[in-house]
Amino acid sequence: MPVKKPHEGLGNNIMTAQIFIDGAAGTTGIEIAERLGGRTDVALITLADADRKDDAKRREALNAADLVILCLPDEAAIEAVAMIDNPQTRVIDASSAHRVAPGWTYGFAEFRKGQREAIGNARFVSNPGCYPSGFLALVAPLVAAGLLPANGRYSVNAVSGYSGGGKGLIQRFHNESDIAFRTYGLGLAHKHLPEMQVHAGLAHAPLFAPSVIPAFRGMLIEVPVMGAKVDAAAMRAALAAHYADESLVVVDSAAAPDELLIRDGATPDDGLSLHIFGDPHGEQARLIAILDNLGKGASGACVQNMNLMLGLPEYEGLRLQG
């Protein structure tokens, strides 16, 4: 994936920012720490294993940090925010607790004009979900451009590597080697739905059909579109124009390949690729996003948002394969 000219950092520069990852022992927290390793512009505040669940120690670390990254379940993330009484401490929440909450800025710099600046100036930023990152990257600009109707009924078919389910699901896939495919969210009330609907500007929540495959990382999100007039070429051109200056988002302009692949590599990838394929009659299209669920879908996005909030080079510490 080609790297274009980076955006400059926004906000006030801090010589060495103190960062505390609350939930650093989880998959997302571990990868964030790896991305920050070796940097001289940030320093990690760490707790001993015995202190990670000590509320007094956590409170001290939360209030000592210039910026806190929450890699916690939703309820624990809400509790952590309530512990912060230092008005200078800024927060990125990687849980889904605050993604549509008042007072929180949505941490997807590329999907809407002005969002990068909003993140840079925000105190509270909610990191996007992995599935919504792909969905919104495709749908939000097309709704804004009038190429998809805001009152349309959309479905989202998606598969992810099992690392997106955290340590429990990772262990389950390791223990049960006969699992070939796991579909879930069958109650049709997945926690990602409000995020998808609100930030895409939709009148209706989409029908979301997520599944997990026996690969550690990687993700493909597809939004099928049908109608009397589906202009795939116009949609592709609109996305290409929208993301023309972005380093992490690439819109595929090639003719339809025989297949698209999810690569289960060990190296994180913080990029996002978008594909639109239409039928010859202009009645159907397949909108597809491919990303690393732990990269642009989680840890990579956290680091990008952290850089923006601290006025550091936006893509410092991020990784692109290919």
Half-sphere exposure of residue 71: CA atoms within 13 angstroms, side-chain side = 28
- 71 included as an active-site residue: no
Task: Identify the three-state secondary structure at position 13.
Answer: coil
Strand-pair category, 249-251 with 284-291? unpaired
> 130, 159, 238, 301: which one is catalytic?
130
Residue 215 is classified by DSSP as S
Q: DSSP states of 267-288 as a string?
A: S----EEEEEEE-TTSSEEEEE
Give kind and range of the element (H or E) at residue 157: strand 155-161
Helical spans, DSSP H, in 1-129: 27-36, 55-64, 74-83, 115-121
Residue 298 amino acid letter: A
Catalytic residue positions, numbered: 130
